Structure 1
């Protein structure tokens, strides 16, 4: 199962030149930073916006409140999981 992660946009990059729409964003969540493609996003985000990231693509923009609620729920779910072990279900 895959989860889409809310991440905050730190930088927008236009890799094909000034005349094209921006194609890449640098995003961050809890100190994890990565570049994601914007081709599938519902709109081009601005710096400071939150986007849902799945498989290296920003797919949807969120309000800050929506993103923070999602991130808190993910933290709570992670805290409820047993510690890593060699056993798999």
Structure 2
């Protein structure tokens, strides 16, 4: 989610009308129906975690211990176990 200055993207008349309702505060404008994105889709975070999890699983099936993976990836043992279980499916 990015921030834009209303006066840079909206007609001044519309800004003045909005100011009658909310003056000087932040206003969130949701995406149109059908244009919604899930968490991490816009900036690639979701894909980065997916790639990381697949790499962790590959290392695990190639012999790395859960403890080693937790240390290398700076994750808890419980997180590593969750990732391995999820990737097995």
The two structures have a TM-score, normalised by structure 2, of 0.24
The structure with more strand, counted as a fraction of residues: 1
* TM-score, with length taken from structure 1: 0.24
Larger Rg: 2
